[in-house]
Amino acid sequence: MELRYLGHSAFALTDGGTTVLVDPFLTGNPRAAASADELEATTILLTHGHGDHLGDTVAIAKRTGATVVAIVELANEIGGQGVDVRDPNLGGTETFDWGSVKLVPAWHTAVSPSGTAHTPAGLLIELAGTTIYHVGDTCLFSDLQLVGRGREIDVALVPIGGHYTMDRHDAVDAVRLIGAKTVVPIHYDTFPPIETDAQAFKADVEAQTSSSVVVLAPGESWSP
């Protein structure tokens, strides 16, 4: 299983012929590692519908035939554009032949670019025996510690940019609550308000928690 960072909060998770895209914001992303028309997709998972997460979802889904998973209000909007959707709410798990995704809470706001209000989510993804927790856009909150209970989270994708999400200091406490083996920082350096020091975050996490940090530049891949 390979995890390719596409920049901001976007990833391509691949295993054999399966490609799961998460939050594919490429067009308009100054640090995008790929263009929307070159990506394959089996399934597209969305944390929420802000423009920097919804991104190129509809165009990619229409071209590839990928199913989109999003919280129900957002899924209804996307499904109305002729795309196959799954529409769970928080706590729901969607199962596919490649694995599964569960929607878990995130503390944030969200209205889609078309005006659909909805609640943001984190994504607990099982793919090829690997558990990946995409934390989405959130501040620090204590229920982060509930997400991984009873299982081991192999990798957590954690926002550190501040301003729109928790900053790199609160993210150290979030990492301690989440308890993942490995953490990849996301949602930073894309725009001036969210510039931060990912190497300082790595040093703090590795000094203060039992997790290790892998800093990926947009375009880099890593296998858990």
Q: Rule CB under 5 A: which residues touch Ni ion?
A: 50, 137
Distance of CA 106 to the CA centre of its chain: 11
The item of Ni ion, Mn ion, none sharing an interface with residue 56, based on CB under 5 to 8 Å by kind, is: none
Contacting range for Mn ion; rule: CB under 5 A; set: 20-28, 131-139, 171-179, 192-200: 131-139
Confirm or reject binding of residue 52 to Mn ion (CB under 5 A): yes
Least Å distance between CB 48 and Mn ion?
8
User: Which residue number, 162 or 224, has a Cβ lying nearer to Mn ion?
Assistant: 162
CB of 74 to Ni ion, least distance (A): 12
Q: Considering CB under 5 A, how many residues would be counted as binding Mn ion?
A: 2
If one counts every other C-beta atom within 10 angstroms of the C-beta of residue 28, the result is 10
* Contact partner, 126, from Mn ion, Ni ion, none, Cβ < 5-8 Å per class: none
Do residues 1 and 128 lie in contact, with contact meaning Cβ atoms separated by under 8 Å? Answer: yes
Closer CB to Mn ion, 4 or 53, in the complex: 53
- Classify the phi-psi angles of 29: left when phi > 0, otherwise alpha if psi is within -120 to 50, otherwise beta: beta
Distance CA 99, CA 121 (A): 19
Q: In terms of CB distance, is 77 or 137 closer to Mn ion?
A: 137
> Which of Ni ion, Mn ion, none does residue 102 bind to, with CB < 5 to 8 Å depending on kind?
none
**Which value, to the nearest 10 degrees, does the dihedral of the CA atoms of residues 191, 195, 199, 202 take?**
-90
Using the contact rule CB under 5 A, the part of the chain among 56-64, 75-83, 133-141, 194-202 near Mn ion is: 133-141
Residue 193, number of CB atoms within 10 A of its CB: 9
Question: Which of 9, 211 has the CB closer to Ni ion?
Answer: 9
- Tokens of residue 68, six digits: 């989109």
Closest separation in Å from C-beta 135 to Mn ion: 11
- Cβ at position 78, least distance to Ni ion in Å: 16
Tell me the CA distances in angstroms from 56 to 26, 51, 140, one per residue in order: 6, 9, 28
Q: What is the dihedral of CA 150, 152, 158, 164, to 10 degrees?
A: -10
Residues binding Mn ion (CB under 5 A): 52, 137
